[in-house]
Amino acid sequence: MTRLQYVKLVIVCLVAGASTHAQSTDPRLSADAAAVRLKAFASSNLPRDLDSCLEKVVAEVSPAVVQIMATGYGPSEEHGHTDTSQIVRQHAIGAGVIIDPDGYIISNARVVEGAQRIRVILTPPAGESTLELQPIHAEQILNATVLGTHKQSDLALLKVQASHLPTVLLRTDVRVRQGELVFAIGSPEGLRDSVTMGVVSSLARQTIPDNPMIYLQTDAAINPGNSGGPLVDIDGNLVGINTFILTEGGGSEGLGFAIPAAIVDFDYQSLGKNGRVQRVAIGAKAQNITPTLAAGLGLARSWGAIISDGAAGGAGEAAGLKLQDIVLAIDDRPILGLPAFTAALYLHPADQVLKMDLLRGTSWVSLKVPVLVYHEQMDELAEIPELQKSLIRKLSIFVTELEGNVKQLLHDARSDSGVVVVAQAVGTNGVDTGLERADIIRALDGVPLQSISQLRATVAKLRPGDPVVLQIERKGRLRYLAFELE
């Protein structure tokens, strides 16, 4: 019998014992009989066996969980709303999990967003005594670099210079079941190596209808500082990366969400190979089928996902995809609704043709759909590496060069040269220039700009009260911004 089967058997016995206790109020069950059964349950070894097994799981996983301390610049937050167009100085504490012994660590992108310095604190060895202090030694603190982030999934891949580190198993072949026990480990409120226990509440929760991300929902307590830490099963397998909670009071209310292991693995492979995640698009949208929708359209099914929109001339239309097609499977993954549809597209490799099995009327149809690489929105500008080096303090902006990936993001740009505004810098005591994110600064006082260094040198010569005229390109249109330097 495996440890998993054993623990499940123990849990069944515990539930049975609790049920016996609950039925003690049933008039058909004598009080004496209920007392005898409860005493027998309490005196058995079952609670101790369960406690011992769960303790072993935590002992195996905890050494691979790290605390992350990041300092740098990040998006401003006010009343729970994140504004990526404004950048402020920040300090962040989160968690991460080592998934490769050579120092590769997965965490949340928001934990390290805009960081100038990232330090990873390893979990200290367990002490023999509960009273033994566990100071942080120099060898337990490592500097980390960011190999890549993906803002939409909220995942980041970090690297520390170390080897033979403890790891958590990242396996995509482990089936997660609703109701199974899970553990969340992290640094809530900065308290390192904290463990909470709960169950998987839902397997595929899509919290925002138009967002392709789906999550594991859990009632294990998750609080600020747990972000980026692992959610593991009773075999110590990584089933998810904790990412956010739904709460009215600010603390855990039993509504925690974790990024599923399949998405974690997909992003880990992509970030490690390319430094970014490439998603695909097929030029079509889907929505959930309801009984009313099925009745009104005369569909053969009253559940699942239906193609509700398609771009003219898009990949889906070219492959033969039609409105009202019911999606049965994508890449042989069964599609039971919109969350499964969006997840299957998310996990599809960018260099492969997508396979779709459809129900058209009462006929089964199989299509091979070529895919297009999906480009993220302008929020990706805030993820440009070494952001702190591009601060133009007198103009209260962060900028980057108009080249490479940045130019690809600005699809309608007319300019071949200039400096791109990444975000506004809050709290730098600069002037209100009227600049917005994604503006291309083409010239300053009539002098064409070619680089950040040229812009910085020109601005450095300006004095308070000097008139400044910027020629900018905004959404494909040229205009002037005029102001006096303060």
* Eight-class DSSP state of 216: E
Per-residue pLDDT reduced to its tens digit, 101-117: 999 999 999 899 878 89
Q: Is the pLDDT of residue 230 over 80?
A: yes
Q: How far apart are CA 124 and CA 192, in angstroms?
A: 10
Per-residue pLDDT reduced to its tens digit, 299-357: 999 999 999 988 776 778 888 999 999 999 999 999 998 888 988 998 898 888 899 99
pLDDT band at residue 273 under the 50/70/90 scheme: confident
Per-residue pLDDT reduced to its tens digit, 38-52: 566 566 677 777 777
The three-state secondary structure class of 39 is helix
Per-residue pLDDT reduced to its tens digit, 371-419: 877 645 444 555 544 544 577 878 888 788 887 767 777 767 888 889 9
- Return the minimum-mean-pLDDT range out of 10-24, 177-191, 334-348, 454-468: 10-24
Q: For each of the domains in the chain, give its residue range(s) and CATH number, in order of start.
A: 3-44 (no CATH), 63-126+133-274 (2.40.10.120), 279-374 (2.30.42.10), 378-484 (2.30.42.10)
What are phi and psi for residue 52, nearest 5 degrees? -65, -40
Mean pLDDT for all residues in the chain: 81
Q: Is the pLDDT of residue 3 over 50?
A: no
Question: Residue length, the chain?
Answer: 486
The three-state secondary structure class of 299 is coil
Q: Is the pLDDT of residue 130 over 80?
A: no
DSSP-assigned beta bridge partners for residue 149: 156
pLDDT band at residue 268 under the 50/70/90 scheme: very high
Please report the pLDDT score of residue 123 as a whole number: 81
CA 152 to chain centre: 6
Is the pTM higher than 0.75? no
Please report the pLDDT score of residue 33 as a whole number: 64
Please report the pLDDT score of residue 406 as a whole number: 77
| Nearest residue to 285 (alpha-carbon basis) of 190, 175, 374, 382 | 374
End-to-end Cα, the chain, rounded Å: 75
| Nearest residue to 159 (alpha-carbon basis) of 138, 169, 179, 145 | 145
Mean pLDDT, to the nearest integer, of 130-139?
57
Q: In the structure encoding, which two tokens stand for residue 116, read together?
A: 């100038």
Looking at this protein, which amino acid is placed at residue 412? D
Residues 6+ apart with CB under 8 A from 294: 301, 302, 303
Where are the strands (E) in 28-154, listed by range? 65-78, 81-100, 104-107, 115-121, 141-150
The DSSP code sequence of 221-269 is ---TT-TT-EEE-TT-BEEEEEEEE--SSSS--S-EEEEEHHHHHHHHH
Q: How far apart are CA 253 and CA 198, in angstroms?
A: 12
Angle of helix 3-22 relative to helix 31-43, nearest 10 degrees, comes to 150
pLDDT band at residue 266 under the 50/70/90 scheme: very high
Q: Is the pLDDT of residue 152 over 50?
A: yes
| Nearest residue to 184 (alpha-carbon basis) of 124, 224, 144, 148 | 224
Q: Is the pLDDT of residue 438 over 80?
A: yes
Q: Is the pLDDT of residue 18 over 50?
A: no
The three-state secondary structure class of 439 is coil
Mean pLDDT, to the nearest integer, of 242-262?
82
